[in-house]
Amino acid sequence: MTAVSATLESGIAFAASHADDPFEAMDDVITQLGATPLAGALVFCSQRYDRDKLSRAINRRTEGLTVIGCTSSGEVTEAGYDHDSLTVIGFPADSFQMVSHCFTDLDNFDPDQAREAVRNLAAIAQRDSKALGDQVNHVALFLVDGLSHREEILTMTIQDALNDIPLIGGSSGDDLAFRQTAIFHGGQFRPRAAVVAILSSPKPMHVFKAQHYAPSDRKMVITGATPHERIVTEINAEPAAEEYLRLAGHAGEALGMQFFAAHPPMVRAGGEYHVRSIQCANPDGSLTFYCAIDVGLVLTVGEPVNRIAGMEKLFADIGERVGQVDRIIAFDCVLNRIDAEQRQIARDVSKLYVRNRVVGFNTYGEQYHALHVNQTFSGLAIGK
């Protein structure tokens, strides 16, 4: 799997395995990928795998290859919504270059050092990708610990250093256990880490972001919060969970993951509404969010729109952008999946994904340019 130059005809490789043993799963994946030389690969995996053992399995079969990845809360494979799998996306060496950098200590993240590291990475990508031709496109793939509470500062800092190279990515998951997620880089899984990889190719590449919710007329103001923990204690000067349920719910409903997915709070910023998803309700009546919050923030209760129609339009727009699609690498919020299952449209969504060659993973949040966002279907579309 060592990177070499060839023609520009190879399609993006994809493989998934549900084998229980990490070595068996990785052997299965490599067999499916075939002999096409790769420039780099993405790995998304269920948190059920022993991480040390899976690291050894990956390293045994990818020597000399740039590999990044993360733990997930579900995978998107050639079957659509999937689970408990090891998934690999491979970028053929005849039409891609891939270089990466890992931030291993998010608790002591230094923005100035990060900008320098990312600028150096971009310079390497520009230099190395000249072998692919005169017209080369660049995209930054970004994966970050989904429990780090550091996505906002990292996303803004890295996009700033990238200049006009667009950033797209997702926050790692752990199947809604909310205990420990991990990023794969340098041959090992690391908690409290993030990785950015610059993918270069003459093929057309387009990053996008879409959401399946629209603002209602029900407003609420955060009046009490612990921002560094992303905890809201009061809404409209009332206990947060109680007031949110009163505004968003109906008699007899209970707060839980399905409720949060169906009625996400939204905030208006830059002329657009963005979802600010709730992770959980706490025993003391507070709410923990997936994103940065603070006192004074005005939220609006979101309501679902026609997801299938919206996604069909999105895929049509993507086709106009990149032509015939090779693959769409998706960073799809786990709450989208939960809401699709609750509304009994998960099978229809999966069919759309299969038809439009979507692969990827279910996230604890998504990154688009300089934004950390929630409950979106975001991704990278690559044309043939």
188-239: pLDDT as tens digits: 999 999 999 999 999 999 999 999 999 999 999 999 999 999 999 999 999 9
Residue 296 backbone dihedrals phi, psi, to 5 degrees: 95, -10
Domain residue spans of the chain: 13-210+310-383, 213-304
Lowest-confidence range among 84-98, 248-262, 360-374?
Answer: 248-262
Lowest-confidence range among 183-192, 232-241, 265-274, 275-284?
Answer: 265-274
User: Structure tokens of 207?
Assistant: 């990053």
pLDDT at res. 216: 94
Residue 254 has pLDDT above 80, yes or no: yes
pLDDT at res. 4: 32
Average pLDDT, the chain: 94
pLDDT at res. 271: 86
* Residue 251 banded pLDDT, cuts 50, 70, 90: low
Residue 2 has pLDDT above 50, yes or no: no
Lowest-confidence range among 6-15, 38-47, 110-119, 155-164?
Answer: 6-15
319-359: pLDDT as tens digits: 999 999 999 999 999 999 999 999 999 999 999 999 999 99
Task: Select from 2.60.40, 1.25.40, 2.40.30, 1.10.287 the CATH code of 213-304.
Answer: 2.40.30
pTM over 0.75: yes
Query: Which residues, at least 6 apart from 351, have a Cβ–Cβ distance to it below 8 Å?
Result: 80
Sheet-wide strand order for 183-185:
13-17, 86-92, 38-46, 66-72, 183-185, 188-190
Residue 242 has pLDDT above 90, yes or no: yes
Residue 7 has pLDDT above 50, yes or no: no
> How far apart, in whole angstroms, are the C-alpha atoms of residue 359 and residue 142?
16
Give the mean model confidence (pLDDT) for residues 364-372.
Answer: 96
Assess contact for 380 and 206: CB atoms under 8 A. yes
Query: Which residues, at least 6 apart from 373, have a Cβ–Cβ distance to it below 8 Å?
Result: 209, 211, 274, 275, 291, 365, 366, 367
Residue 3 has pLDDT above 90, yes or no: no
